[in-house]
Amino acid sequence: MTAKRTMTLNLTDAEMRVLDELSVRKDITKTAVLRQALRLYQTIDARVEKGEKLLFENEATKEKAELMLL
Amino acid sequence: MKLERGKDWWMARARREGDAVIGAGLLAFDPALDERASGTQIAAIEETRIAFGKFVNLMRRRRGFSMEQLAQAADLDASELLVIEDDVHYVPEPRTVFKLAETFEVSHRRLMQLAGLAAANDAGFRQEAVRFAARSESIQKLTPEESSALEAFVAVLSEQEPKRVK
Amino acid sequence: MTVDVSTIYLLDVATGESVEAELRDAIEQPQLDDWQTKWQPALLAVLQELARKGVPMSQWPQSWHWNWAQKTARVQGLLAFRGFSVVAQGETQGLAQVDLTKASREPCQVGKPVVYLDYLEVAPWNRPEFGTAPRLRGVGSALVTAAVALSDEEGFKGRLGLHSLPQADAFYRRIGMTDLGQDPAYQNLRYFEMTAEQARAFLEQE
């Protein structure tokens, strides 16, 4: 297994609640939630950096909303 | 990620696979006929062009040159050197290949053949090129293996071609 | 990045003997070179032979145009994409790439993260569909196993998703995956998924 390093993370109660909820709903550990978040953030950021836009489309109405990443 | 399984475990899997076809991923279903016709030639040229890109890369590094320094020494454009080292689909300018042969002191004809700009009339040369490409990796520092692979290939590039049998 | 290398074993079809092989959790330059200088010419030779024999195009192997060099370059440095290669007898015998950003579609695990098997290809000389005897057996199974094991290690409990090549549907059904039908968004390839339970059975099977 690839060597991993440990770090302490300071989260607010609200953040902790979200992390707990996601961990239950996605059926993965809290560490896995945060590692997944990092993967997704990097993937999206790489595409935005290339000049692409992140759009959400409502399947029923076909309405599109752009998510801004700064 | 490491998988710790014994020999019997893997062999049982291999046997169970039988003649199953295994593959996954999105692909196009209709390869165009004319593309296929020229495919063999393209593959052969790209084969030696991999060696060409690697040869330029290793020779440059052996001299401790950055791309810009080599560009200056050979009177070339640094951006062209960049695509030569990285993109097998790129067809270099004959002048560029000529300049590189001069700088690296190897046969002009041979380097032209390696770059896919001229046809080589001996199959052995292509094999040497492929072997060279397979032995070298694009990492930062030249390993002793890369150095010896490079030395051997420089010798091949300096040799004259066998005379065409009339 | 350091590459983890696991020792695995394949079956030499001609001799019936075992062959020691490496399962590497990356696709590196030597693999891309093999794809270009060995797989591609071998595949072209087979395709030309098929064309000469007048085999209808629908029966042709389906991965002939895949370009690994471009695919790996596009995802280099991204945590979400991981590669695997099987190397034996000094040559690349199979390649796979997975995407960790996808979510499950199977009703009992919908929305949960899966390892999505983006691409899987076995070297032309190991592929049984060409009519000649394949050299090594077990390459495809090893790559699927690696993807399920990665899913397990990443905390995705072995959940796996993939779009199967038509000729490979039978294999994925046989290893216990759920067939979720044709996917119009992927040229009607069938989408298969392995649930956490199916994955456990798959990995534990002796």
- For residues B9 and B14, what is the distance between their CA atoms, to the nearest angstrom? 9
Chains adjacent to B (≥3 CB pairs closer than 8 angstroms): A, C
- Size of chain B in residues: 166
Mean pLDDT of B114-131: 77
So what's the pLDDT on residue C56? 65
Are C6 and B4 within 8 A, CB to CB? yes
Distance CA C73, CA C79 (A): 13
Does residue C182 sit in helix, strand or coil? strand
- Mutation pick from C36, C162, C204 vs chain B, by most beta carbons of B within 10 Å, is C36
pLDDT for residue C48: 74
| A41 has a pLDDT exceeding 90 | yes
**Structural domain contains residue A6:** no
Q: Does A1 touch chain B (CB under 8 A)?
A: yes
Specify whether the backbone of A63 is left (phi greater than 0), alpha (psi in -120 to 50) or beta: beta
Quote the pLDDT of residue B166: 43
Per-residue pLDDT tens digits for B90-114: 888 888 888 899 899 888 888 888 8
pTM as predicted: 0.69
Q: B with C: how many residue pairs have Cβ under 8 Å apart?
A: 164
Chain A contact set for B2 (CB, 8 A)? 1
Q: What is the pLDDT of residue A67?
A: 73
CB pair distance less than 8 Å for C168 and B2: no
Q: Which of B11-15, B45-49, B125-129, C114-118 comes out lowest in average pLDDT?
A: B45-49
Q: Which long-range contacts (CB under 8 A, 24 or more apart) does A2-5 make?
A: A2/B1, A2/C2, A2/C4
> For chain C, what is the mean pLDDT?
89
Query: What residues of B are in contact with residue A1 (Cβ under 8 Å)?
Result: 1-2
Mean pLDDT of B16-30: 75
Q: How confident is the model at residue B130 (pLDDT cuts 50, 70, 90)?
A: confident
Q: Are C100 and C113 in contact (CB under 8 A)?
A: yes
Residue A41 lies in a domain: yes
pLDDT digits (tens, 9 = 90+) for B27-66: 433 233 333 434 555 666 777 888 888 889 888 988 888 8
Proportion of chain B above pLDDT 70, given as a percent: 78
Of C2, C100, C157, the CB nearest to A27: C157
The answer to whether B75 and B98 are in contact (CB under 8 A) is: no
Contacts of C69 (CB under 8 A, 6+ apart): B88, C32, C35, C36
Q: How many CB atoms lie within 10 A of CB B102?
A: 13
- Chain B nearest-CA distance from A4, in A, is 12
Using left for φ > 0, alpha for ψ between -120 and 50, and beta otherwise, residue C161 falls in: beta
The token pair that represents A28 in the structure block: 């993965």
Nearest CB neighbour to B50, from listed C36, C51, C139: C36
A2 Cβ under 8 Å from any chain B Cβ: yes
Check whether A3 has a pLDDT greater than 60.
yes
Residue B30: the pLDDT is 29
Q: How confident is the model at residue C68 (pLDDT cuts 50, 70, 90)?
A: low
The answer to whether the Cα torsion of B12, B16, B22, B24 is positive or negative is negative
How far apart, in Å, are the Cα atoms of B125 and each of A64, B111, B129, C2, C193?
Answer: 57, 11, 6, 35, 48
* Count of residues making up chain C: 206
User: By three-state DSSP, how is residue B116 classified?
Assistant: coil
Average pLDDT estimate for C169-191: 93
Predicted pLDDT of residue A20: 97
Residue C203 in tokens: 């990995």
What was the pLDDT predicted at B138?
54
Is the pLDDT score of C101 beyond 60? yes
Under the banding of pLDDT at 50, 70 and 90, the label for residue B67 is: confident
User: How many CB atoms lie under 10 A from the CB of residue B127?
Assistant: 11
* Residue C42 vs residue C140, higher pLDDT: C140
Domains in chain B (CATH in brackets) are 33-158 (1.10.260.40)
Mean pLDDT of C152-164: 96
Give every CB contact of residue C204 below 8 A, 6+ residues apart in sequence. none
Is there a contact between C36 and B40 if contact means CB atoms under 8 Å apart?
Answer: no
Range name among A47-56, B139-148, C38-47, C121-130 with the lowest pLDDT average: B139-148
Which of A27, A31, A39 comes nearest C100 by C-beta?
A39
**Chain B residues within 8 A of A4 when measuring between CB atoms:** none
Is the pLDDT confidence value at C64 over 50? no
Q: List the one residue out of C118, C94, C116, C114 whose CA is nearest residue C104.
A: C114
Higher per-residue confidence, C99 vs C76:
C99
pLDDT band at C43; cut points 50, 70, 90: confident
| Domain total in chain A | 1
What is the nearest CA distance from A52 to chain C, expressed in angstroms? 15
Taking a C-beta distance cutoff of 8 angstroms, is the pair C165, B21 a contact? yes
Across B6-23, average pLDDT: 94
Residue type (1 letter), A45:
D
> In this structure, how many other beta carbons lie within 10 angstroms of the beta carbon of residue C76?
10
How far apart (Å, rounded) are the C-alpha atoms in residues A32 and A38? 10
Mean pLDDT of chain B: 78
Cα distance from B4 to chain A (closest Cα, Å)? 10
Residue range C111-141, pLDDT digits in tens: 999 999 988 999 989 998 877 889 999 999 9
What residue numbers bound the domain in which A47 lies?
Answer: 13-67
Indicate whether A8 belongs to any domain. no
Please tell me if residue C204 touches chain B, with a CB cutoff of 8 Å.
Answer: no
pLDDT at B139 over 80: no
Chain A residues closer than 8 Å to B3 by CB: none
* C-alpha–C-alpha distance, residues C32 and B54, integer Å: 13
**Whether A38 and C79 lie within 8 Å, measured CB to CB:** yes
Q: B117, B92 in Cβ contact below 8 A?
A: yes
* B32 alpha-carbon distance from chain centroid: 26
Residue of A nearest to C156 (CA): A28
Residue A42 lies in a domain: yes
Predicted ipTM? Answer: 0.90
| Domains delineated in chain C | 5-204 (3.40.630.30)
Task: Judge whether residue A56 has pLDDT over 70.
Answer: yes
Q: What is the arithmetic mean of pLDDT over C168-197? A: 94
Per-residue confidence band for B77, with pLDDT thresholds at 50, 70 and 90: confident
